[in-house]
């Protein structure tokens, strides 16, 4: 007589939550971000209009626009991005790391010249 044995494996979907010591950097304002060693401020240059053309204002300091984890991996390529709330308000980031939830600029598709 043949005996059949079945192995039943039950897999449950589980939701992972951050460890208690993890810092939710994306939830911080830039002013709060600087106080957290695990976090880094995401900075960008203002893309503006000057004398009828779009340009980047490199003369001023970068603006702290968001907060993210300090050890994130970024590509060394300038990136244009805008907030989903206002896709016409465009910023130039020095690398590929942009604020969480940001995307393409509505009116600017390539890096403009310096003002």
pLDDT confidence of residue 52:
85
pLDDT confidence of residue 58:
86
- Which residue, among 18, 16, 30, 25, has the nearest Cα to 71 in the 3D structure? 25
Residues of the chain with pLDDT under 70: 1-23
Taking the model in full, what pTM does it have? Answer: 0.74
Residue for token pair 């010591």: 21
Cα–Cα distance measured from residue 102 to residue 60, given in angstroms and rounded to the nearest whole number: 22
Mean confidence (pLDDT) of the chain: 82
């Amino acid at each position: 007589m043949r005996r059949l044995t079945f192995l039943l494996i039950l897999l449950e979907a589980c939701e992972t939550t951050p460890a208690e010591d993890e810092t939710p950097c994306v939830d911080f304002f830039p002013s709060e971000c600087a106080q957290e060693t695990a976090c880094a401020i995401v900075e960008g240059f203002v893309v503006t209009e000057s004398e009828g053309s779009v340009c980047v204002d490199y003369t001023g300091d970068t603006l702290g626009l968001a907060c993210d984890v300090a050890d994130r991996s970024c590509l060394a390529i300038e990136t244009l991005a805008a907030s989903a709330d206002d896709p016409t308000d465009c910023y130039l980031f020095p690398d590929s790391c942009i604020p969480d939830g940001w995307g393409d600029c509505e009116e600017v598709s390539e890096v403009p010249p310096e003002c």
